[in-house]
Structure 1
Amino acid sequence: MNVLKRAAFGAALLAGTAFAMPAMAADLGIAMDQIFQKMDPHNSNYNVDYVAASGVVERLIGFDQNMKLVPQLATSWEGSDDAKTFTFKLREGVTFHDGTPFDAAAVKANFDRLADQSQNLAKNSLFKVVESVETPDDFTVVLKLKEPFGAMINTVAHPSVVIHSPKALAELGTGVEKKLVGTGPFKFKEWVPGERLVLEKNENYWDSGWPKVDKVTFFPVTESATRASMLLSDEVQFVHILPAELSERVQSSGGYEVLEVPGITVWTASLNMLKEHFKDERVRRAFNLAVDQQAFVDVVYSGHGIVPDSPIAPDTRFYEAQEPLKTDVEEARRLMKEAGYEDGFEIEIWGTNSSTGVRMLQFLQQQLSQINVRAKIVPMEGATRSEKVFSSMVPEESTFDMLMGGWSPSTGDADWHLRPVYATEGWIPKIYNMAFYSNETVDKAIQDALNTADPEKRQAAYSIAQKQIWKDNPVVWLAIENKMAGRKKGLSGVFQMPDGTMQYSKAAFE
């Protein structure tokens, strides 16, 4: 069934028409909220790509449901006291889908690729501190760094740091993004861009007894109601990213359940600090005071989330709470007047054209009108936004005033939130600092935290960074939404993660 037919089918179902579509008990269907971009996680910035690839190409280290580190292709790891040498012991008896043995040489081929900045891969930045990759024996890999980097272990656990077959890398090069070869429980079978991705069971998987399903089919379906209807018709058995407004229908359906976990994605509206009006801290403070963040959580996420109280989420390592946000329109107006903007000014707010994205934009437009700010909202299709922001952006020529975005540190560590979003080195298009924010105290604190492997010293440094960022208001902090998904009852081992990804490798039907 193609996407257009599914859309019509879904609309009919939600309107009350009953349909029944049998699903093979050994087959798993998953509806994703975005179109897949590249099947090579080394060269992608998209959670949907990481999710689909995760059952085919594995990492040395993974995460459990609570973002705690767990062994995958590595059985153990350790870092030196100076945070410059990291050693990984590898799992033995593992074979890639093409028959190539998994060993230290295979890991080196992948880590060398990530460390080679001339490759211009999307995730080269994660390994820019790597000086060399050494293999003292067939099942030991040692990363030598150019400088201390205390977040290296969590960086290796990032969902993009997967291990491709070295034979596939040598033969296909960047072509691996269209035909994955890994060690995972599922093998790549077919990818029809915009329509489906099909994986099949790996009969020789190293983890005995798995997988327990024969086939996994991913459907990219951007329309939320259609994803929900596909679940309720049993065309799929799991919906990744279930909007809160559809959760009650799924929950009350009888044969399906809603999964909900606290997220670590912090949603913000970045204030372009290259614009004259946002160079004034009073204006940035006024914008935060004018916006009712709890109302934002209620309107956009139907209450399924929390108001941020730090630049990073509570379940991120080294989080420290700051003074809670408050809404005070009168104080916001006073600050605007003091800064010389009593009559406000005109701005452009960029965001996405999804139903949730448009709600975000409209909410901000209304809230900011209270301080005489006249906002033109610019919703864009996801690929268009990505092109304008991350491919062709020149900071000094940027035209937006505010830019909506959410960042999830998929390493689980404060480094991979504070550094890409608030360090000077993270200015878009390089990483995700969409405010063009730059503060020497913040940059130094972030670097100090990376210069040691001592958790207490890292906590102290990140405390300084969080406090300064919170004081400077480079963004309007909006929400940390709960991650919600829909699942058929009787299905286990498939669940969403706090970082916005999901897992399906241990999928099983009762």
Structure 2
Amino acid sequence: MRRWGSPAVSALIVAGLMAVACAQGTGGSATLRVGLDADPPNMDPHRSTAAVDRQVYQNLFDKLVDTDENLQIVPMLASAWTISADGKTVTLTLRQGVKFHDGTPFNAEAVKYNFDRMQDPNFPSARRSEVLPVQKVAVVDPYTVALSLEKPYSPLLYVLTDRAGMMVSPAEARKAGTNFALHPVGTGPFSFMEKIPQDHITLVRNPDYWVKGQPYLDRIIYRPFPNDNARVANVKSGDIDIINIVPLAQIKGLSQEAKQPGARFKLIEHGAFRWQGIWLNVTKPPFDNKLLRQAFNAAIDRDAMANVVLQGAAYPAYSFFPNGTPAHDPDWKVPRRNVALAKEKLQAAGRPNGFEVTLLVDPTLEGQSIAQATQAMASEAGIQMKIQIVEFGTLLHETDTLAHQAAVLGWSGRPDPDFDIYPFVTQSGIGSFNNAGYTNPRVQTLLDAARLLNDMNQRRRAYREVTQILADDLPYIWLYFPKEYKMMSMRVQGFIHVPDGMMRFRTVRLGQ
């Protein structure tokens, strides 16, 4: 999620000076300078749980398959694939002549190694649940692999368009072990040069990339700007070329500014899968009590969040599935605020005077504005919230280990609905994505069954029932579906937006 930080002016000045220094020291006509909302905490795609990591991965690692701007699965490291009639064998034909950045050949043995690594119980993999349905990876020949499944798994190809499909160098991974993130090696259009924590990540052009003539850039420099004002200001000043997150509360003003003669930036609106909310820990007080979760939920005004706090740059949310996604249910109604109901739930829980809870949030303006609005709304029902601002990496650690009570977080979304819901509410997701610690046998059964179905209408019925259960159990409080924007310098050319929100730069050129 995006949240507020310390006083914006001083942070803005410091961040701006840092960006200027970077531009003077490393800039060039073919250096793209990217502003991120947080410092990517983990450069190993098989261990990562942060969305911001994926922004860097898109240009460092290739995937077995990818999605295009129309959400169609397209070849990448796998040039073709077939699925058996029973749905239990997926055969991948691999692209030949591809090498990892360290010179290691990409082939079927490399693919098998990557699956073994993700499934290794002795390796701290965050991808294990995603590839769990793959029981065996057989090397058919040097450039063909067969993935054997115990039962059909309809989301598999879409799973391979993300981190589970990102291939790491077996040679480097074996050598580095759990330290692979210190020097990640993939096959992507850019290779890793350095990471200075909380300052920058530098990627350089891969001269041997398998797409002839690409990439066009010489290097990419990523810089973290947790402060929303600083991130935006550095695009306006020309010190940053593109940012991944545009503060929703500033969209209206930025849209008007971008239309003015002589504007130095452009603002592009596009489709997205994201949702934003409050993740409740149902394994410890106070939110191990469902009545208290229901009281908290009833106190929240989602319309005010979307239309007042965020000035119309979002839609009120009610589930994991935003408008335009395959599992979206247009008949589902957004919960309305009901303070009287919240107080009834508190009374029923034996807490007529309310309760206290700590809400974790990272240092972005959007997140803190949401946290403060939530705090004010909850207080009217007798729920006292303490807002605790922590760095994004700390926030992930606290939620992954279920050390939190409540946290402001979001999800970037995926093309297939399975991964927008399954890891968040099933046993296999605890410790990685199920930061609520929530389980429900009926939910597990429904979602397991949905994975076997190719018909989206049938899957949608399962997701509808799960959504009804979750609307009562409330391990998560869905607040809003953000509209998605990209803000970039006028000199950025050839950028292709894909609805997953990840910035792919192999087609980008820089003008004057």
For the superposition of Structure 1 and Structure 2, which TM-score range results when normalised by the shorter chain?
Answer: 0.7 to 0.9
**Contact 1:351 1:385 (C-alpha < 8 Å) held by counterparts:** yes
**Contact 2:130 2:164 (C-alpha < 8 Å) held by counterparts:** no
Compared with structure 1, are the counterparts of its residues 335 and 53 closer, same or farther at alpha carbon in structure 2 (3 Å cutoff)?
A: closer
Which residue identity lines up with residue 54 of structure 1 in the other structure?
A: Q
Deviations 1:433-453 (A, max 9, x none): 333333222111001112344
| Matching residue within 28, 33, 58 for 1:29 | 33
- Alignment of 1:8 with 2:18, yes or no, is no
Deviations 1:369-404 (A, max 9, x none): 22122222222222222222224x3xxxx562x332
- Alignment of 1:385 with 2:382, yes or no, is no
Where do residues 90-489 of structure 1 align in structure 2 (5 Å cutoff)?
90-247=94-251, 248-249=253-254, 251=258, 252=260, 254-274=263-283, 278=287, 283-321=292-330, 322-391=332-401, 393=402, 400=405, 402-410=406-414, 412-427=415-430, 430-489=431-490
**Contact 1:23 1:235 (C-alpha < 8 Å) held by counterparts:** no
Inter-partner Cα distance in structure 1 for 2:198 and 2:307: 32
Deviations 1:179-202 (A, max 9, x none): 233222222223223222222222
Q: Secondary structure of the residue that 1:503 maps to in structure 2? A: coil
Inter-partner Cα distance in structure 2 for 1:377 and 1:495: 38
Which residue identity lines up with residue 421 of structure 1 in the other structure?
A: F
- Alignment of 1:85 with 2:86, yes or no, is no
Unmatched tracts of structure 1, length 5 or more:
14-19
How much does 1:503 deviate? 1.9
Unmatched tracts of structure 2, length 5 or more:
1-8
Inter-partner Cα distance in structure 2 for 1:284 and 1:223: 31
Inter-partner Cα distance in structure 2 for 1:82 and 1:431: 31
TM-score (norm 1): 0.87
**Contact 2:281 2:435 (C-alpha < 8 Å) held by counterparts:** yes
Deviations 1:345-391 (A, max 9, x none): 22332332332222222111110122122222222222222222224
**Contact 2:65 2:165 (C-alpha < 8 Å) held by counterparts:** no
- Give the superposed CA RMSD: 3.0
Q: Aligned pair count?
A: 493
Which 10-residue stretch deviates more, 193-202 or 359-368?
193-202
Inter-partner Cα distance in structure 2 for 1:34 and 1:495: 23
Q: Secondary structure of the residue that 1:371 maps to in structure 2? A: coil
Compared with structure 1, are the counterparts of its residues 208 and 108 closer, same or farther at alpha carbon in structure 2 (3 Å cutoff)?
A: same
How much does 1:6 deviate? 9.2
Q: Secondary structure of the residue that 1:431 maps to in structure 2? A: coil
Identify the residue that residue 4 of structure 2 maps to in structure 1: none
TM-score (norm 2): 0.87
Deviations 1:383-429 (A, max 9, x none): 222222224x3xxxx562x332212333x2221122122224434xx
Deviations 1:64-117 (A, max 9, x none): 235432221112223335443222122223233333332222222212211222
**Contact 1:30 1:237 (C-alpha < 8 Å) held by counterparts:** yes
Identify the residue that residue 54 of structure 1 maps to in structure 2: 58
Compared with structure 1, are the counterparts of its residues 128 and 140 closer, same or farther at alpha carbon in structure 2 (3 Å cutoff)?
A: same
| Matching residue within 70, 75, 79 for 1:75 | 79
Compared with structure 1, are the counterparts of its residues 277 and 490 closer, same or farther at alpha carbon in structure 2 (3 Å cutoff)?
A: closer
Q: Secondary structure of the residue that 1:445 maps to in structure 2? A: helix
Deviations 1:190-249 (A, max 9, x none): 322322222222222211221111221111222222222222222221112121344434
Which residue identity lines up with residue 353 of structure 2 in the other structure?
A: D
Inter-partner Cα distance in structure 2 for 1:225 and 1:276: 36
Q: Secondary structure of the residue that 2:92 maps to in structure 1? A: strand
Deviations 1:255-300 (A, max 9, x none): 2111222432222223443457656655444433321102112354
How much does 1:151 deviate? 1.8
Inter-partner Cα distance in structure 1 for 2:293 and 2:397: 27
Inter-partner Cα distance in structure 2 for 1:137 and 1:481: 45
Inter-partner Cα distance in structure 1 for 2:310 and 2:190: 34
Inter-partner Cα distance in structure 2 for 1:165 and 1:199: 16
**Contact 1:186 1:199 (C-alpha < 8 Å) held by counterparts:** yes
**Contact 1:42 1:161 (C-alpha < 8 Å) held by counterparts:** no
Which residue identity lines up with residue 140 of structure 2 in the other structure?
A: P
Compared with structure 1, are the counterparts of its residues 77 and 5 closer, same or farther at alpha carbon in structure 2 (3 Å cutoff)?
A: farther
Compared with structure 1, are the counterparts of its residues 164 and 270 closer, same or farther at alpha carbon in structure 2 (3 Å cutoff)?
A: closer
Which residue identity lines up with residue 338 of structure 2 in the other structure?
A: D
How much does 1:304 deviate? 1.0
Inter-partner Cα distance in structure 1 for 2:17 and 2:176: 44
Which residue identity lines up with residue 394 of structure 2 in the other structure?
A: T
Deviations 1:476-508 (A, max 9, x none): 220111233210114134366544532222112
Identify the residue that residue 509 of structure 1 maps to in structure 2: 510
Identify the residue that residue 16 of structure 1 maps to in structure 2: none
Identity of aligned residues (%): 28
